[in-house]
Structure 1
Amino acid sequence: MLKTVVKSALLAGAAWGAFAAPTSAHAAAQDPAVTTVDEIVVTARRREENLQDVPVAVSAFSSERLENTGAQDITELTRYTPSLTLQAARGSNSTLISFIRGVGQQDPLWGFEPGVGLYVDDVYIARPQAAVLDIFDIERIEVLRGPQGTLYGRNTIGGAIKYVTRRIGDEPAGRVRASVGTDNQRDLVVSGEVPMGDQWGFSVAYARYLRDGYGTNLNTGNDHYNKDVTAARASLEFAPSDNVFFRLAGDLVIDDSNARHGYRELAPQPGSIYDTNAGAGDANRVETGGLSLTGEWNVNDSLTLKSITAYRSGQTRGNIDFDNLPQPILDIPAAYDDNQFSQEFQALIEGARWSGVFGVYYLDATASGAFDTVVGAVNLTTLTSGSVDTESFAVFGDVSFDVTDALSVSVGGRWTQDEKTGSVFRQQYLGIRSPRFLNNAAIPLGAPRTNYTATEEFEQFTPRVSVAYEFSPTLNAYASWSEGFKSGGFDMRGDAVLFPGTVDGYDPETVETFEIGLKGSLFDRRLNFATAIFDSSYQDQQITTQYPAGATVASVVDNVGSSSIRGWEFEGTLRVSDSLVFNTALSYIDASFDEFLAYIPTGPLNQTCTTQPGCFVDVSSARAFQNTPEWQGTFGASYTHLFGDGSSLVVTPSASYRGDYQLFETPSPLLDQEAYWLVDLSLVWTSASDRWTVGVYGKNLTDEEYRVGGYSFPGALLGDSIIGFYGPPQTVTATVGVKF
């Protein structure tokens, strides 16, 4: 029976592509001939391989593809990728929230770690602040779905996103791109590269993004939902011989966009969903940057050695007004700081019938911060501060062996050891804001509610096995089994008075996934597709629950139990003619909690806890996965018209669908988002010489209103602070680019 179901699902995916037409993982550039899956090179398994041969669900987007659709930052990949959610965090402009196949992390507080790994040129980005990366000067972006614990390690239990920048070419080159658009949008991107002899090369890219707000802070008159971002990258490459290569790269992002306070969902409400009456302040600044040194030595035809050394640091200073009113009813000023050092060594080995990668990885990171919870009605402030030091070491390997010309087997594993030291301090004060946030007149109220330092070690082995079979040169199938884990830690908000168990921290979470996939090209390579079904068992899921507790907000982070996630994904392209290509991507996810042990702070009078002040109760029947719609998809086309002078016009319409979803595991009727469509249209003209481009990009043309985040703290004492954060409205952008 299972065999029949699997076969039907895979063949249904292929048949769907024959008439529905896909937006695929497969990069379709301006060339009318669609790139086929056996021509696309990715590094999903840490070595260069054709996409068709990789036994992993991967979506790959070239720079040309993203430019034709007008994608401005990586959150727009949500429109085109199955089972993916990328959003700016609640109250943030550039902090990333990511989910793949229902697995992720919504809480960007210091010390918490994402469930989807983000990599820039193979450097792991440990913190989500400033991780909403703008798309410029890139070669491609890869989205790997499913646990990637073997080759990418801890915190990739949902998947991984690889942001790959361009390497320096053989000839000097430069590019300028300027854009104007809705709400006084003014963008400028300048990049250039200069080879210096046969051995040296230098490149630099600078981007400036400015936009007035979609709304206004009606209390202060300042822009709300605006953009003020500066980003820069530079790299120096050195190749002393044909077999040795070094690259020193640096990057910097500064986000001075105003604080994003959200929209008050209960009266009194401002007129627009992008307006606010917040009084907590509009000042906000996020700054992050890093350096990396990559070295490669091709020892011989069978062995390549690689080293990746990186250091990154960042800081965030901002405010969120939870009540969205001028008075300090529920305000949260905050400050975060982080830094990380990482070192990875790899050995890539290739034989006549086998290939593999082996390596070691080391990470030393610190994340720290502080925030006030200001409850003005009772003149009370709760200061929460602390830090987490993480030291991680891992050894990994993955080997593929061709049993026959058609059959190959891959086996891999990773052993990881983490040591974490967490310090948490929580103190209440009489007064509006604490001394940490410049109110030196605040009076401590009693002893600290939390004040501890603790150290925990976490150790895990994450294996992966896959089998691939080549039915023909253009059709491959695979089956895989893999595991991933996200490290345990400490709740930085934990209140030891309300929940004494917070000092014990929380355990790692794990995901075990079975996956069967089919990739290839049919009908003389007119149809390119990739489809997969998967079944995941999710254990000890870490979930943050925040709830009103008297005159403050309390938090519990715990391993709530277990859940099951099953789904199907499809993406592909159909070339109807040399000028017309249809595309689609589609995913279905059935995710449910088998057990959800929620902390009940008031201690219900039942058999579970009759004498305790609080207890854990299984509420799985009343909980659902957040940011995980059942159905998600996109449908589009690309039409290329060639003019007599050799120039071309590419027209790209698309409509992306996202089904109903909850913002939190607990239903919230005022915040949960109903299904919606986003309709986009772009037109890009390119000169015959490929030097000039002119583009017009329309996004959300039907002006759909949809929530991407929220907070829920009901009750008069907290100002009935139920607020939503919304995705961008209808926008139109015009761009002119020149290459030289």
Structure 2
Amino acid sequence: MSKLNQNITPITLAVSLALLSANSIAAEQTNTVKKGELERIEVTARKTVENLQEVPVAVTSIGAQQLAENGISVMTEVQQFSPNTTLQTSRGTNSTITAFIRGVGQQDPLWGYEPGVGIYIDDVYLARPQGAVLDLLDVQQIEVLRGPQGTLYGKNTIGGAIKYVTKEMTGDATLNVQGTVGSYNQKDLKITGQLPLIDEKLYVGFGFATLNRDGFGEFLTSDLDNQDRENYNKDVTAARVTLEYTPTDELFFRLTWDKTEDESNAKGGYRLLPSLLTDAPVPDSVYDSYTSMPTWNKVELEGYSLTARWDMNSNTSLKYIGSSRDSYSPTNIDFDNTSTRIFDVPAIYDDEQTTHELQLNHQGNNYKLVSGLYYYDGESCGQFEAILEELGKSLGAPGLTREVSGCSNSSSKAAYIQGTYDFDDKWSMTLGARYTKDSKDAIVNNGLIFDTVYPESGWIPGYVRPEGQLVPTVLDDSADWSRFTPRAGVEYQYSRDIMFFASYAQGFKSGTFNPRATTAEPAAKPEIVDSFEFGMKSEWNDNLRANVTLFTLDHKDRQYISVLPGDNAADLNQRLGNIGESTSDGIEVELNYIATESLSFDASIGYIDSSFDNVIDYDPETGEAFDKSDRFSVSNTPDLTFNLGATYRMYTEIGDFVMNGNYYYRGDYALFEEDSLLTQDAYGLLNIGITWYSTDGQWSAGLYGKNLTDEEYMIGGYQFVAPDPSNPSDVSKYTPGLGGDNTLIGYYGDPRTVSLTVGYRF
């Protein structure tokens, strides 16, 4: 921790000065200015409703009003408000998420890989990153839990958890209509409402959204006719129906159905190098691309969930949560981004999952307890074709395709318990434990086909796929893993408004098989994260909230796919293994200051020092082990993130106005772990908005500007090139990679946009 102490001293000093100055300002204003007060924030981070300031966990909660007044319509924007958090749209589609918290996450969204950050909708776990970029519809709040949640959430939350909480019904008949128009021909419509079927007993709620936008760029060339050439466009339809039944004061039932269809085009990447094999230069715009594939794309999600709660008495409740979810995604990704089939990857992802959870919550005079049983059963299948047609032609064949397909069927069973005991009005202790047993069956088919092959007939006009399995089965195996993961913490209530806490927690991510295996290779072992935290939750003079967390984590047996050279350029050899260990030390600060009844400020600051301590590989000729950690970076993890915001409320005879702005900064970060050739320099985003509410509370309108300085920043990419071995110091010189071309590709975040939203509440 010595390095951490040296590095965070300026930040700690700045935070301390901010607290002291804000406290003194607040004291001076007590008798001169009528000030507002901090609102009480309730969270469900520990699977029961609690005051944010009483929860000894690093958690950020963003409520529906704050989301609306900042013009936030998609979950990835929440990263601005949570320190040391990365939530970004992945390469290739609008709906696949890249999530990292404190340097722990998942970069590759291929089937069979387990995420490091859990995504939950009303406590229902989403196992796959496809479709996890959720558009906000009827949301009550979003919570970001940082650090391993290995006791209460267990499966694959070694980095943290994102909780999407929808609104419970009030029982009143309501209808809300909201329309948005904006840059790039944005046209959104959201309709939500509820209707009592039996007064105070049975209610039905509904939500519908259609979200449309033209592309930020275009596909400049395409070999296929009649293709929509918009790039980075949006075409999403979402619907949700909820039935809530309260037969007695002690019983509550909620049945929910939701469906999302994303028919936005496949995203084309930006060529950072001119092509060696075609006449495709580097485009003028980072949102322009070339492709030799269809531009259509699809992500379909559908799910059902049932929640039943029995309040056995005033202190004890029993809760059941069951769900079933399906996802289907045929997708087109042109890795080389040229109008020639150099390295094209059409793919299909097909996932099903069922979950059951039974919770028992109890609260006594000086203790509270959460316990439960959890079961997950999932089938994750997929297929992709790595089409290397130009390479095949150079070898005298009509084409060349490496086809990979298979399934990873998994189950997870767990039992957990966590309790907090109050020794007195100052000291308390939290202890928790979870036992998890995971099982996985995997089958992988992998081989070369000396022709151009697509996953299905009709993928391109006139294509008919040969019948039968085209490549051999190379892996058919199963494995089990189990783990006991503890949590221990102590809390000290220094005063009514100040609490200190220290905790230890362990996270466990399942072992897995390589879905790209070329041989019957063994499964990778599970990943383990050990985390220590020391934090403070505090409120000062009813108008300043300051929450601070220091943390250190040790990430062991990191799973990693290493790309290995093969006998020729047609080989796509990727070996899955446990490469080594990384550590992260950091600090997170969240501040809310209510200066007056009208003016408030907020800030969040995250600093993290992450690095690989060892990465063990083996010399293929001698078999000797060596450490190559100097070639590795913890990806998607800036060392510094911060967000500074201000909100001003003005009350007039024609309604209330809310004006806000924020500046969000991300330090530089690598996009890949090993020998990353793509590094995004530090950048900042400036956002400004104004929201109006009518005096009768029925009308609202908002004007929002995002990324007003029009920053260009990379959020994903592909690198299939290598530094020139004859001149390794010259980073502008490369040798071609798979497919024989300079494939170095970037995907970018949204440019400057302006939108106008108008809503009416019936």
Letter in 2 for 1:571: E
Residue 546 of structure 1 deviates from its aligned partner by 3.5
Query: Counterpart in 1 of 2:631?
Result: 622
**Alignment deviations for residues 653-689 of structure 1 (CA, whole Å, 9 cap, x no partner):** 11100001000012434x2100001110011111112
Letter in 2 for 1:200: L
Distance in 1, matches of 2:489 and 2:481, equals 27
Partner SS state of residue 77, structure 1: helix
Query: RMSD of the alignment, in Å?
Result: 2.3
Q: Is the 8 A contact 1:567 1:590 kept in 2?
A: yes
Alignment of 1:474 with 2:490, yes or no, is: no
Distance in 1, matches of 2:139 and 2:560, equals 34
Alignment of 1:536 with 2:553, yes or no, is: yes
Query: Counterpart in 1 of 2:150?
Result: 149
Query: Counterpart in 1 of 2:30?
Result: none
Query: Counterpart in 2 of 1:104?
Result: 105
Alignment of 1:281 with 2:294, yes or no, is: yes
Distance in 1, matches of 2:44 and 2:469, equals 55
Distance in 2, matches of 1:120 and 1:49, equals 18
Q: Is the 8 A contact 1:236 1:247 kept in 2?
A: yes
Letter in 2 for 1:281: P
Residue 314 of structure 2 is aligned with which of 297, 301, 315? 301
Residue 741 of structure 2 is aligned with which of 711, 719, 740? 719
Letter in 1 for 2:216: Y
**Alignment deviations for residues 614-663 of structure 1 (CA, whole Å, 9 cap, x no partner):** x7642112211000110001111001111134x11111111100001000
Query: Counterpart in 2 of 1:385?
Result: 405
Query: Counterpart in 2 of 1:235?
Result: 242
Correspondence list, 1:166-205, <5 A: 166-196=167-197, 197-205=199-207
- Count of aligned pairs: 709
Alignment of 1:588 with 2:607, yes or no, is: yes
Distance in 2, matches of 1:537 and 1:577, equals 43
Instruction: Quickly say closer, same or farther: Cα 1:5–1:86, change in 2 above 3 A.
Output: closer
Distance in 2, matches of 1:291 and 1:223, equals 33
Residue 348 of structure 1 is aligned with which of 355, 361, 366? 361
Query: Counterpart in 1 of 2:510?
Result: 487
Letter in 2 for 1:362: Y
User: Is 653-662 or 431-440 further displaced after alignment?
Assistant: 431-440
Higher relative contact order (CA 8 A, sep 6+): 1
Distance in 2, matches of 1:447 and 1:170, equals 57
Query: Counterpart in 2 of 1:678?
Result: 685
Query: Counterpart in 2 of 1:457?
Result: 480
**Alignment deviations for residues 549-571 of structure 1 (CA, whole Å, 9 cap, x no partner):** 42143222211111111000001
Residue 364 of structure 1 deviates from its aligned partner by 0.7
Distance in 2, matches of 1:534 and 1:721, equals 38
Q: Is the 8 A contact 1:375 1:552 kept in 2?
A: no
Residue 442 of structure 1 deviates from its aligned partner by 7.1
Q: Is the 8 A contact 2:403 2:471 kept in 1?
A: no
Letter in 1 for 2:504: W
Instruction: Quickly say closer, same or farther: Cα 1:359–1:277, change in 2 above 3 A.
Output: same
Distance in 2, matches of 1:240 and 1:215, equals 54
Q: Is the 8 A contact 2:36 2:543 kept in 1?
A: no
**Alignment deviations for residues 391-432 of structure 1 (CA, whole Å, 9 cap, x no partner):** 110000001111111111110000000110000110210111
Distance in 2, matches of 1:598 and 1:436, equals 38
Q: Is the 8 A contact 1:361 1:394 kept in 2?
A: yes
Correspondence list, 1:632-647, <5 A: 632-645=641-654, 647=655
Query: Counterpart in 2 of 1:26?
Result: none
Distance in 2, matches of 1:446 and 1:67, equals 51
Alignment of 1:513 with 2:531, yes or no, is: yes
Partner SS state of residue 296, structure 2: coil
Instruction: Quickly say closer, same or farther: Cα 1:242–1:375, change in 2 above 3 A.
Output: same
Partner SS state of residue 79, structure 2: helix
Query: Counterpart in 2 of 1:568?
Result: 587
Partner SS state of residue 53, structure 2: helix
Alignment of 1:426 with 2:446, yes or no, is: yes
Distance in 1, matches of 2:122 and 2:380, equals 22
User: Is 5-14 or 542-551 further displaced after alignment?
Assistant: 5-14
Gaps of 5+ in 1: 22-30, 497-501, 604-608
Letter in 1 for 2:428: S
Distance in 2, matches of 1:445 and 1:131, equals 31
Letter in 1 for 2:597: D
Letter in 2 for 1:49: E
Distance in 1, matches of 2:482 and 2:503, equals 23
**Alignment deviations for residues 235-280 of structure 1 (CA, whole Å, 9 cap, x no partner):** 0001110010000011101000001121111112222110111111
Q: Is the 8 A contact 1:429 1:442 kept in 2?
A: no
Q: Is the 8 A contact 1:661 1:673 kept in 2?
A: yes
Letter in 1 for 2:53: Q
| TM-score in terms of structure 1 length | 0.92
Distance in 2, matches of 1:61 and 1:447, equals 49
Letter in 2 for 1:520: S
Residue 290 of structure 1 is aligned with which of 300, 303, 325? 303
Distance in 2, matches of 1:435 and 1:41, equals 48
Query: Counterpart in 2 of 1:213?
Result: 215
Alignment of 1:164 with 2:175, yes or no, is: no
Instruction: Quickly say closer, same or farther: Cα 1:94–1:534, change in 2 above 3 A.
Output: same
Partner SS state of residue 259, structure 1: coil
Distance in 2, matches of 1:491 and 1:61, equals 37
Query: Counterpart in 1 of 2:373?
Result: 360
Distance in 2, matches of 1:446 and 1:295, equals 47
Partner SS state of residue 76, structure 1: helix
Gaps of 5+ in 2: 24-33, 223-227, 275-280, 393-398, 722-735
